[in-house]
């Protein structure tokens, strides 16, 4: 997959590009709006990460021009502004999602994957498996090594969120939006409490431990 | 500079107004003088002709009564009495011989031949004097037996009067001009004094950057006075906004300094570490502190926006019970883990008009607060009821926690305020400030009662029909 990153802050651009390359993406970086538009027109990209505030041509205009040219590349907006207005504007312009700075790379990655999948989210497996942990989305049953585990709805939602992409770190904000449908950071410790409860049920009496805390970033489900 | 510009503008306006006044004044004075001059000239001319007419009448009457001798004796009598000093008198007989002729001395330049030629045709003729542009008006009366009496009068006397009048008029004109200019200056000055007052006020604000200056209004309700009033209202609004923004900035600077200091300290101490695990731990802590800075900033911006009225709210009809349940779900696990019972008893039909997301945030903050300060075995109860006699709904979050000391009670809504007993509790200390700001942005109010040792009750009262059309600064 080929991603275009249009970001004028060199440090942030390097951070995003480096992270994406580590994830196996091919990345091109443009540091102003005009060259970003040229790149986007020239090559087919699977997705673009576009900062809203750019020199020479701002991000919203860039995407407007792109859409006028009939190029449907999915766009993830980045912005230091976080008001609902900006979100709405970004999405109306033809952006597919919106991420406020500062952001966790895990979240950028998740949103990027979401918008590239958006067109082709055909079949998702009904049964998710990580090691000997199994989650059935249809029957909403969970077991580990054959031992049934009773989960409350929110615990189930959290586990589903983590199991959909095992090995991928989920930020607290991503978990909050998945489990509680909150669109902004609540600043509460609700996620920690929920993770603690889930850990009690799926890890406490089992080995190896699957639910890990990545300090400062979020949580991940994987075999270490 | 703008002040110089406005200075020039003001001077130009005063000048223009003064000039207009002076111009109008001078023009009307000139019209009046000209009119008077023309009337005077005409009146004098009519008077002259009247004199000639009456003389002619007397002479023809004398001739008719006593013949040529009678006329002659009258003419002689008149001459001796000096009546002819200013008149030309000429009498000719039927043979066109001059019987009598008298002309004041110094009358030169008149072409007297016209007396014979033109007077034969017209009873009144004017003979121009090419030397001094005066004219001689001559009336001709034909008497029986071919006798002709002609009496003329020079326009010189009249012209002299008019010349004197013109000279006076010029003097008067100078005086008028002086009055006009002085009056214009005065009018310009007086009429624009309210504008100058406005200008002085705005100039003072531009110079000092202080918005507490106000335009002096006299309460006369004239346009200038109203303008002054409007400007004062505007200034008050600007002052409030600027003060709000300044305070917000101060608060942001103050509230961010602490987490930034922690972040810096963490990074600095981590830099001393050699052990990879300790390095990782330090980085993680730095990241957490950075997130806290970011969360603090977001909360502060929300509070500031709500307080200054720039927070965008999307009011819609929401079911209070549903929103409370959503907020509850965020803290239900923690409460359960800590042995605190949470219950909501709210009529599912109860609705208000509010921004759903923000309302949920308000209630979640209150619940979080209640849970945080409760101990195992405690209770948190949520209730909501319409306020009697008022189109509002009050939502109450009641806990059985530690309670708040009466001395602390007035300050719980302040930023970063925590009672002594709760200093160790985690959180940004902005939750209740945000609650208050959001509720007030909705046109509602907050309240709190507490009994130390027995618990507290936080109330949020919101109007059922929402708050006016859209967001905006409120007086």
Q: What is the pLDDT of residues A169-215, one digit of tens each?
A: 888 888 888 888 776 555 677 888 899 999 998 888 888 888 998 88
Any chain B CB within 8 A of the CB of A178? no
| Nearest chain A Cα distance for residue B189, angstroms | 51
Residue B463 has pLDDT above 80, yes or no: yes
- In CATH, what number does B2-178 get? 3.30.450
pLDDT given at position B475: 37
Q: Which residue of A has its CA nearest to B362?
A: A186
Which comes out higher in pLDDT, residue B396 or B60? B396
Q: Which of A189, A78, A177, A186 is nearest to B295 (CA)?
A: A186
Any chain B CB within 8 A of the CB of A147? no
Q: Which of B281, B283, B334 sits opposite A189 (nearest CB)?
A: B334
Cβ B330–A154 below 8 Å, yes or no? no
- CATH number belonging to the domain at A127-221, selected among 3.40.50.11900, 3.40.50.300, 1.10.10.10, 3.60.20.10: 1.10.10.10
Question: Using CA atoms, how far apart are residues B473 and B475, in angstroms rounded to an integer?
Answer: 7
Contacts of B263 in chain A (CB under 8 A): none
Any chain B CB within 8 A of the CB of A182? yes
Cβ B333–A84 below 8 Å, yes or no? no
Residue B460 has pLDDT above 90, yes or no: yes
Any chain A CB within 8 A of the CB of B325? no
User: Could you tell me how far CA A54 lies from the centroid of its own chain?
Assistant: 23
Which comes out higher in pLDDT, residue B86 or B69? B69
Cβ B330–A84 below 8 Å, yes or no? no
Q: Which residue of A has its CA nearest to B284?
A: A216
| Nearest chain B Cα distance for residue A101, angstroms | 9
Q: Given the structure tokens 């709805």, which residue do they identify?
A: A153
Which comes out higher in pLDDT, residue B18 or B456? B456
The two tokens of residue B330 are 């965020």
**Which superfamily does A2-120 belong to?**
Response regulator (3.40.50.2300)
pLDDT band at residue B128 under the 50/70/90 scheme: confident
pLDDT given at position B225: 82
pLDDT band at residue B304 under the 50/70/90 scheme: confident
- For A58-95, give one letter per residue: b (16+ CB within 10 A) or e: ebbebbbbbeeeebebbbbbbbeebbbebbebbeebbb
Where along chain A do the CATH 1.10.10.10 domains lie? 127-221
Contacts of B368 in chain A (CB under 8 A): 188
Provide the ipTM.
0.77
pLDDT given at position B366: 92
Any chain B CB within 8 A of the CB of A199? no
Contacts of B327 in chain A (CB under 8 A): none
Angle of helix A190-202 relative to helix B320-337, nearest 10 degrees? 60
Contacts of A178 in chain B (CB under 8 A): none
**For range B135-146, the mean pLDDT:** 82
Where along chain A do the CATH 3.40.50.2300 domains lie? 2-120
Percentage, residues of chain B above pLDDT 90? 14
Question: Using CA atoms, how far apart are residues B90 and B97, in angstroms rounded to an integer?
Answer: 10
- The answer to whether residues B75 and B89 touch, using CB atoms and an 8 Å cutoff, is yes
Any chain A CB within 8 A of the CB of B356? no
CB pairs under 8 A between A and B: 59
pLDDT band at residue B35 under the 50/70/90 scheme: very high
Residues in Cβ contact with A42 at an 8 Å cutoff, skipping those fewer than 6 apart: none
Contacts of A102 in chain B (CB under 8 A): 290-291, 294
Any chain B CB within 8 A of the CB of A83? yes
Class of the CATH-defined domain B312-463? alpha beta
Taking only the tens place, the pLDDT of each residue in B364-406 is 999 988 988 888 889 999 999 998 888 899 999 999 988 888 8
Which comes out higher in pLDDT, residue B203 or A92? B203
């Amino acid at each position: 997959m080929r991603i275009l990153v249009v970001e004028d802050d060199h440090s942030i651009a390097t951070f995003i590009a480096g992270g994406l390359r580590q994830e196996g993406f091919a990345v091109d970086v443009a540091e102003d709006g005009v060259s970003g538009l040229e790149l986007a027109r020239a090559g087919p990209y699977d997705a673009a990460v576009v900062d809203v505030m750019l020199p020479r041509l701002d991000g919203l205009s860039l995407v407007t021009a792109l859409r006028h040219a009939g190029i449907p590349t999915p766009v993830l907006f980045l912005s230091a502004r976080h008001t609902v207005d900006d979100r709405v504007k970004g999405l109306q312009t033809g952006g597919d999602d919106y991420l406020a700075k500062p952001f966790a790379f895990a979240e950028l990655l998740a949103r990027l994957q979401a918008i590239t999948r958006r067109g082709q989210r055909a079949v998702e497996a009904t049964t998710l498996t990580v090691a000997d942990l199994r989650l059935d989305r249809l029957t909403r049953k969970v077991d580990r090594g054959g031992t049934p585990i009773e989960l409350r709805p929110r615990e189930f939602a959290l586990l589903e969120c983590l199991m959909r992409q095992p090995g991928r770190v989920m930020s607290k904000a991503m978990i909050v939006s998945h489990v509680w449908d909150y669109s902004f950071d609540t600043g509460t410790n609700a996620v920690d409490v929920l993770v603690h409860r889930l850990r009690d049920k799926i890890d406490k009496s089992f080995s190896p431990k699957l639910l890990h805390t990545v300090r400062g970033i979020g949580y991940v489900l994987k075999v270490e | 500079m703008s002040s110089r510009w406005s200075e020039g503008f003001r001077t130009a306006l005063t000048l223009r107004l003064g000039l207009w006044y002076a111009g109008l004044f001078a023009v009307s004075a000139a019209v009046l003088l000209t009119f008077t001059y023309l009337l005077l000239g005409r009146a004098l001319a009519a008077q002259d002709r009247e004199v000639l007419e009456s003389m002619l009448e007397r002479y023809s009457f004398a001739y008719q009564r006593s013949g040529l001798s009678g006329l002659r004796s009258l003419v002689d009598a008149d001459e001796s009495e000096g009546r002819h000093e200013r008149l030309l008198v000429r009498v000719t007989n039927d043979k066109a011989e001059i019987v009598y002729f008298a002309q004041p001395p110094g009358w030169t330049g008149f072409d007297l031949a016209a007396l014979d030629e033109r007077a034969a045709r017209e009873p009144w003729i004017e003979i121009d004097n090419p030397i001094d542009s005066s004219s001689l008006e001559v009336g001709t009366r034909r008497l029986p037996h071919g006798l002709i009496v002609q009496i003329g009068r020079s326009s010189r006397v009249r012209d002299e009067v008019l010349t004197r009048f013109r000279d006076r008029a010029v003097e008067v004109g100078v005086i008028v001009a002086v009055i006009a200019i002085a009056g214009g200056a005065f009018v310009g000055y007086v009429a624009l004094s309210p504008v100058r007052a406005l200008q002085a006020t705005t100039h003072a604000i531009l110079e000092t950057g202080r918005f507490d200056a106000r335009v002096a209004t006299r309460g006369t309700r004239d346009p200038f006075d109203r303008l002054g009033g409007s400007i004062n209202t505007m200034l008050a609004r600007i002052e409030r906004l600027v003060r709000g923004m300044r305070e917000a900035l101060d608060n942001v600077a103050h509230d961010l300094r602490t987490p930034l200091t922690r972040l810096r300290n963490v990074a600095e101490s981590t830099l001393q570490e050699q052990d990879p695990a300790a390095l990782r731990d330090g980085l993680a802590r730095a990241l957490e502190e950075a997130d806290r800075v970011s969360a603090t900033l977001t909360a502060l911006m929300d509070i500031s926006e709500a307080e200054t009225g720039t927070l965008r709210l999307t009011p819609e009809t929401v079911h209070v019970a549903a929103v409370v349940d959503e907020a509850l779900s965020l803290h239900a696990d923690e409460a359960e883990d800590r042995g605190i019972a949470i219950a909501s008893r709210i009529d599912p039909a109860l609705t208000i008009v509010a921004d759903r997301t923000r309302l949920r945030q308000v209630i979640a903050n209150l619940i979080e607060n209640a849970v945080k300060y409760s101990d195992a075995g405690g209770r948190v109860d949520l209730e909501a009821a319409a306020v009697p006699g008022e189109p509002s709904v009050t939502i109450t979050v009641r806990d059985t926690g530690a309670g708040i000391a009466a001395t602390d009670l007035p300050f719980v809504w302040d930023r970063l305020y925590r009672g002594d007993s709760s200093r160790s509790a985690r959180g940004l200390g902005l939750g209740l400030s945000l609650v208050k700001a959001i509720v007030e942005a909705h046109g509602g109010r907050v309240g709190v009662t507490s009994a130390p040792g027995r618990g507290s009750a936080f109330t949020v009262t919101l109007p059922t029909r929402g708050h006016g059309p859209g967001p905006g600064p409120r007086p």
